[in-house]
Structure 1
Amino acid sequence: MASDFDDQFLTCPVSLPDQGVDGLRTNFYVNNLLDFAAAKKGAEPDHEVTPEETLKAEEAISKFHRKRHCDKHKNQELVFYCESCNALVCTACTVVDHRPGKDHNPAEIPSVAQKKKETLRGLLQGIYPRLNEIQASIKEIDRKISNLAPSKEVVTDQVKAYFGQLIDLLQKREKEILSQIDDQCRADGKALQTKKEAIEFELAGLTSAQTFCQQAVEHGSDVHILEVGNQVQTRVETLLAKQLDLESDWSEFQFVENTTVVDFKKKIQGLGGVKTNVDVSKCKVVIKPAVEGFECIAELTTMNKEGRPCVTSNKAVTTNMKAPSGKNVPPHRQPQLKSGGVWEISYLPKVTGIYRLEVKVNSQQVPGSPFDVEVKGNPVLTIGQEGRGVGELDLPLGVVVEKDDAIAVVEQENKRVQIFNAETGQSLRSFPVDGGNLLGIDVDSSGAFLVTSWDEDFGLRRYSKEGRLLDTYKPDCMLAPLGLTVLKDGRMVMADFHQKLCLLLQPDGSLIREIGKGKLHGPVFVSADEKRDVLFVTDASAHKVFAFDLDGNFIFDFGRQGDSDGEFQSPCGVTTDSAGNVVVVNHGDGRVQVFGPDGKFIRTAATVKGSGTGIVLTSDGYIAVTCFTGHCIELCRYK
């Protein structure tokens, strides 16, 4: 049981080289310790005893160093060092393999070693000041760490006192306004009561006249009417003719916001702040390319007085963006600290045009703020136009991204591979390619290009990064090679249009197996998702995408001919992203569609002009699509 546990969990922390233990470097320090120990232990009669003082003497140390012998001439001691070859050699080697001359310069080991020692001593002298500098820096950081809590306490008290005074002022103003309301209420109440009493007096007089008049009319005799009628008539007419003020001048109380809450919220942002080590005048903002409908990024680097990146609180960084219409654009998410002093500002523009991005640190505008940000639509860049010159293209097909993110494209008519800068679209270099009807291109782990051609001079050719032809593969299994992809282990998968299948090939071009025979009708391009062991093949004749594993087993297919979402018009270029989504471009209508790993339609990412053919994803989130009849490469934002 214990043995099983040890085998499973106890592993050696040292990784052995291919040669095993023999391939490990010699530890000269340990060997010398063993030599000294052997010398000191020499108490036996046949051993020479060496005094400790002698052992300590530097000039005597070499006397006890272990003898080193030549690997090639086992009985020869290593006594020379060939500086041209950086190799220790014996006397026999200087006669055969390392003869003195223009290619070799063997010198005695002590003289070369002495020079090297002097060099190393010089380096040691340079190490000591750096060690002191680093140690002093650590002490200074420790001092600052110890000051964090006291500094925080002092500033916290200052903040509380400052805002306490502001709160007192607000509460005082509140009391003043409430007292004003009370006074006004009392005054208005007194005025209204006086008005009420005056109206009630008039009401009483009119009511009395009404009663007397009504009694006379209803109950008085003719004689009585004639006796009092004139008096009553005069009284009533006088009251009715009297002008009465029945309206009150009072209206309901209203509170007037001389400063609105929204305005006050803006102003309150400027009330106080935390002064940090950030020097706003040295802060920098880099605006990344912005595309309509995609998350766009600007990077802020907060700097100290020495111009070095430094960290500050996320509350210190504030941003505001305005659309071309002048309306505020809400942030896609709040500024995030990505690394030491570098902040990521994210926004999501809905329309194209010039936006204004305001960036503040500690309520101060950084240099250049507000910034003009041009938001483009897809495609963001068109590379090339029809022609045969530098930077021009004629019937581009396969496309691939090099390790340095340059875009390489095969031109069928110009019979060359041309490489472009992915950011500027500038042509970097080109080289001619053999064969006709060129189509597919990919790069292997060494950076070499592999290019297919499918006419009479068909084949697969391998070129160096500079364009020198290295290999030509024309195995018997190959008839009309089109698109290809190179796997991480050097194997290749290639679509063969005439044979209606794909070929899995060894790095030397020999056949491993056929894939898709009996399923495919017109395979054009291929892409491998090695993480999931899935090979995707576009079939322009069937208007579908087929999925196989690398053992050749059919997994599923998706798509059909049509113009709707998830339908194809002669699908060509295909690739996969890091999430396993499949990206396909239609040759017929230029739509670039995105499907899930299971083939379910997700979205249309872009539409390119002029018969889309090859497609590749760049490392910074763009799609490069070759437009066959448009004679260009269109670079579209993907994510």
Structure 2
Amino acid sequence: MASKMQGSADFDEQFLTCPVCMLHFRDPRVLPCLHTFCRECLQEWATKQQPLECPTCRTQVSLPDQGVDGLRTNFYVNNLLDFAAVKKGAGPGVPCQVCEGKEEGARSWCVQCAVLLCESCTNTHRRFPTLKGHQIVTQENLEASEGVPSSFQRKAFCPKHEDQVLTFYCEPCQTLVCVACTVVNHSRGDKHNPVEIGSVAERKKRDLQKLIANVEPREKDVRATLKEVEREISELPTSADAAIEQATAYFDQLIALLQDRKEEVVTEIVSRRQEVGKCLETQKEAIEFELAGLTSASEFCKQALEHGSDVHVIEVEGQARQRVAELMTTPSDLTARPSQVVFSEGTAVAEFRDDVARAGCVHVQVKVDASKCSVEIKPTIVEFSNVSLLSTNDKNGQLCSVLKDDVTATLTDPSGQAVPTQLQEKGRGLWEISYLPEVTGNHRLEVNVNGGSVAGSPFDVTVQSTGTPVLTIGRWGSKGSGKGELSDPTDVAVDMDGNIAVVEWVNKRVQIFDARTGQSLRSFPVHVGGGSPWGIDMDSNGQFILTFQKNSPTVRVYSREGKLTKTLKPDCLQKPYGVAVLQDGRMVVADSTQKSCLLLQPDGSLIRDIGKGLLQAPQFIAVDESRGLLFVTVYSTHKVFVFDLEGKLKFSFGKKGFNEGELEYPTGITVDPAGNIIVVNWFNGRLQVFGPDGTYLRTVARVKGGYPQGIALTPDNHIAVACYDGRCVELYRYK
């Protein structure tokens, strides 16, 4: 133990104060949770609640059989209390606590009796045989000490032999004993082994040092976290005020927009009222003028009939006929004219209320931990807009939001030149880092969050040349039936989760791959009832629609889990290839033997033949329902034919050749959201894009895998190509 403990000048009054009674400790006792209270306070507290909870930390504690009296005394607190009292009592004018100031002289302190003694009482105290073991600390020692001397400790006496100091420790009993006890109750033998407390204390001190070593790192972390929480508490009003300011500005803008729109509408109503009023006034004047003429002519004719002689009638009839003819030749417009200005709601109040309820979003931002954040580097093609995905996480690895200003991403090309990057939050804690590299080669991407580097930063970004597949699914050129292997893939489709479904001709199965990583997620067999699968598409419910050839020309429907739910065997079906499913469940199947496309009901019944007499060997189909158009590749004539869904030919394009814009045995076809037509050539692998009218636009790539078949466009703008001879699916970036 150190020779000095805490100095009197450094005493913390709170450290010597019981948390319950708020007075100096009286007979301090230590709970198992290591919090100290007065013995009487604990006894009173124990009568108020069962089970007993620590008044400070609320930890449930179990008292020993003796109750509160069985708890250990906090000797350290007792020593500090004693020393504090001595320091205070050693001052001038403080009387002896035995003779109460009757004798003068230097004062001393009896550690065991905890009383201040004058010189006379000190001498008397020392003469009592039962008090000879008591430790006396002189005033000189007290004044010379900067802290609590190691000797300033009450000696512990044996509860069975009150005049004996506890100087031994019986390890089997785990009990402190005196010399007398070692003879009477704890003599050395099989059940007892008393040893001097000095050696035991040294061992216990080492154990305490180990406990401190175990606690200190955690204590350091907790203190750091506490400091961080305190900082965040201090910053909370600032962030909340900033959020209020942003919300106020946001809603003020909305209110201003509504106010501006209100003024525009009211102004338009006033303007329309003036226009309609002027129009009605003009019509009124014309009608009144015509009415006056008609009334005058009518009255003239009546007067002639009632009062005119035959001669007079004969004379005026011609004049009256001429006037009436004039009036009837140019009559006023009596058709209905706009007569009211009416306001109609462009957006219903109920709908607008729902939109308002979604306007603005409040969330509590968790402290992000850069070391827990991650970046997914996606395949990158030169002169294309590419993205990498950043996940911002808290210290527990959970996604959390972060301000855009707290995220930085810097991409540099092989020469060290910076490539412009853009950041866009796609969801809580998910960010897209987009960039358009202008050169190929190894680039470096540095990502920082809240001033700290994301784990793994800087990242290597390999920029490949245009036309290079960004991902190859399956083992190129190698057949296989294992997980992730492909054997003669014929067609691809994109499921509702954005994954790629591949039909395998030889393995007679559908295998689902992650479009980002190429990892095989699952597969299901499709060989029930014979036949070999060829074409695939998805319906609006996420079911797989497949065509089958050879022994059993059918169309089969599989659930999202891969269970066969329906088999369609229309009489018109002979050798189906590609298939496309409409939103309402109807489907179009390219039939090579029928030399047409078959528009079928969901139950497989034929609605109509499309392209009969024009299509020699139709292969694959794409449908653009927004324009009501059907696109089909014809393998043998090197063309693409475009029909409406009523079967009328709209146009066709393509001619055989190896040049750009020419087709050489076209197979897979799809349409992008802008209506552009994407076609792949089976023979030379050219993947080309044509405008909505069939005009050649550009070539995306030359497919590396041999003999490409079906193609599909993924949600993240990649073209998936089933390579029959390459036994793989290649993904090419589509711009």
The aligned residue for residue 375 of structure 2 is 286
Q: Distance in 2 between matches of 1:563 and 1:467?
A: 40
The aligned residue for residue 684 of structure 2 is 589
Q: Distance in 1 between matches of 2:243 and 2:538?
A: 54
From the superposition, tell whether residues 440 and 300 of structure 1 become closer, same or farther in structure 2 (CA, over 3 Å).
Answer: closer
Alpha-carbon shift at residue 508 of structure 1 (Å): 0.5
- The one-letter amino acid of 1:418's match is Q
Q: Are residue 375 (structure 1) and residue 470 (structure 2) matched?
A: no
Q: Distance in 2 between matches of 1:366 and 1:384?
A: 32
Q: How does 1:110-509 map to 2 (within 5 A)?
A: 145-146=240-241, 281=370, 284-293=373-382, 294-300=384-390, 309-312=400-403, 314=405, 317-323=407-413, 325-331=414-420, 333-338=421-426, 343-360=431-448, 365-376=453-464, 378-385=468-475, 386-390=478-482, 391-422=484-515, 423-426=517-520, 428-433=522-527, 434-509=529-604
Alpha-carbon shift at residue 617 of structure 1 (Å): 1.5
Contact 2:492 2:536 in 1 (8 A): yes
Q: Distance in 2 between matches of 1:491 and 1:637?
A: 31
Q: How does 1:54-133 map to 2 (within 5 A)?
A: none
Contact 1:320 1:328 in 2 (8 A): no
- The one-letter amino acid of 1:424's match is G
Contact 1:353 1:374 in 2 (8 A): yes
Contact 2:526 2:533 in 1 (8 A): no
- The one-letter amino acid of 1:289's match is K
The aligned residue for residue 178 of structure 1 is none
Q: Distance in 2 between matches of 1:431 and 1:400?
A: 16
Q: Distance in 2 between matches of 1:326 and 1:506?
A: 60
From the superposition, tell whether residues 337 and 414 of structure 1 become closer, same or farther in structure 2 (CA, over 3 Å).
Answer: closer
Match of 2:712 among 608, 616, 622: 616
The aligned residue for residue 109 of structure 1 is none
TM-score normalised to structure 1 length: 0.53
Q: Distance in 1 between matches of 2:490 and 2:695?
A: 27
291-300 or 360-369: which moved more? 360-369
Q: Distance in 2 between matches of 1:308 and 1:632?
A: 35
Alpha-carbon shift at residue 502 of structure 1 (Å): 0.6
Instruction: Report the secondary structure of 1:509's partner residue.
Output: coil
Alpha-carbon shift at residue 482 of structure 1 (Å): 1.2
Contact 1:282 1:304 in 2 (8 A): no
Contact 2:588 2:598 in 1 (8 A): yes
Identity of matched residues, %: 48
The aligned residue for residue 723 of structure 2 is 627
Alpha-carbon shift at residue 449 of structure 1 (Å): 2.5
Q: Distance in 1 between matches of 2:402 and 2:499?
A: 34
Deviations 1:134-153 (A, max 9, x none): xxxxxx989855468999xx
Contact 1:534 1:548 in 2 (8 A): yes
The aligned residue for residue 7 of structure 1 is none
Deviations 1:31-55 (A, max 9, x none): xxxxxxxxxxxxxxxxxxxxxxxxx
Contact 1:278 1:302 in 2 (8 A): no
Q: Distance in 2 between matches of 1:339 and 1:312?
A: 12
Alpha-carbon shift at residue 487 of structure 1 (Å): 0.8
Deviations 1:119-159 (A, max 9, x none): xxxxxxxxxxxxxxxxxxxxx989855468999xxxxxxxx
From the superposition, tell whether residues 488 and 304 of structure 1 become closer, same or farther in structure 2 (CA, over 3 Å).
Answer: same
Q: How does 1:529-544 map to 2 (within 5 A)?
A: 529-544=624-639
State the number of aligned residues: 373
Contact 2:368 2:402 in 1 (8 A): no
Alpha-carbon shift at residue 597 of structure 1 (Å): 1.7
Q: Distance in 2 between matches of 1:631 and 1:444?
A: 26
Q: Distance in 1 between matches of 2:399 and 2:243?
A: 21
From the superposition, tell whether residues 387 and 533 of structure 1 become closer, same or farther in structure 2 (CA, over 3 Å).
Answer: same
Q: Distance in 2 between matches of 1:538 and 1:396?
A: 18
Q: Distance in 1 between matches of 2:568 and 2:430?
A: 49
Instruction: Report the secondary structure of 1:574's partner residue.
Output: strand
Instruction: Report the secondary structure of 1:548's partner residue.
Output: strand
Q: Distance in 2 between matches of 1:447 and 1:334?
A: 34
Q: Distance in 2 between matches of 1:305 and 1:482?
A: 53
Q: Distance in 1 between matches of 2:603 and 2:454?
A: 58
Alpha-carbon shift at residue 311 of structure 1 (Å): 4.5
Alpha-carbon shift at residue 278 of structure 1 (Å): 6.9
Q: Distance in 2 between matches of 1:360 and 1:282?
A: 10
Instruction: Report the secondary structure of 1:428's partner residue.
Output: strand
Deviations 1:512-545 (A, max 9, x none): 1111123222211111111221111011111111
- The one-letter amino acid of 2:717's match is G
Higher Rg:
2
From the superposition, tell whether residues 368 and 520 of structure 1 become closer, same or farther in structure 2 (CA, over 3 Å).
Answer: same
- The one-letter amino acid of 2:479's match is G
Q: Distance in 2 between matches of 1:635 and 1:490?
A: 28
The aligned residue for residue 136 of structure 1 is none
Contact 1:329 1:349 in 2 (8 A): no
Q: Distance in 2 between matches of 1:579 and 1:456?
A: 40
Q: How does 1:597-608 map to 2 (within 5 A)?
A: 597-608=692-703
Q: Distance in 2 between matches of 1:142 and 1:361?
A: 23
From the superposition, tell whether residues 280 and 427 of structure 1 become closer, same or farther in structure 2 (CA, over 3 Å).
Answer: closer
Alpha-carbon shift at residue 602 of structure 1 (Å): 2.1
- The one-letter amino acid of 2:730's match is E
Q: Distance in 1 between matches of 2:393 and 2:728?
A: 42
Contact 1:590 1:612 in 2 (8 A): yes
Contact 2:472 2:518 in 1 (8 A): no
Q: How does 1:541-552 map to 2 (within 5 A)?
A: 541-552=636-647
Contact 1:402 1:447 in 2 (8 A): yes
Alpha-carbon shift at residue 313 of structure 1 (Å): 5.7
Contiguous gaps of at least 5 residues in structure 1: 1-139, 152-275
TM-score normalised to structure 2 length: 0.46
From the superposition, tell whether residues 368 and 459 of structure 1 become closer, same or farther in structure 2 (CA, over 3 Å).
Answer: closer
Match of 1:571 among 657, 663, 666: 666
Deviations 1:260-293 (A, max 9, x none): xxxxxxxxxxxxxxxx997674673523303222
Alpha-carbon shift at residue 428 of structure 1 (Å): 1.7
From the superposition, tell whether residues 280 and 537 of structure 1 become closer, same or farther in structure 2 (CA, over 3 Å).
Answer: same
- The one-letter amino acid of 2:403's match is T
From the superposition, tell whether residues 383 and 360 of structure 1 become closer, same or farther in structure 2 (CA, over 3 Å).
Answer: closer
- The one-letter amino acid of 1:542's match is T
Alpha-carbon shift at residue 556 of structure 1 (Å): 1.2
From the superposition, tell whether residues 281 and 361 of structure 1 become closer, same or farther in structure 2 (CA, over 3 Å).
Answer: closer
Contact 1:435 1:458 in 2 (8 A): no
The aligned residue for residue 101 of structure 1 is none
Deviations 1:221-247 (A, max 9, x none): xxxxxxxxxxxxxxxxxxxxxxxxxxx
Contact 1:283 1:300 in 2 (8 A): no
Deviations 1:190-247 (A, max 9, x none): xxxxxxxxxxxxxxxxxxxxxxxxxxxxxxxxxxxxxxxxxxxxxxxxxxxxxxxxxx
Alpha-carbon shift at residue 580 of structure 1 (Å): 1.8
Q: Distance in 2 between matches of 1:586 and 1:513?
A: 28
Alpha-carbon shift at residue 437 of structure 1 (Å): 4.8
Q: CA RMSD in A?
A: 3.2
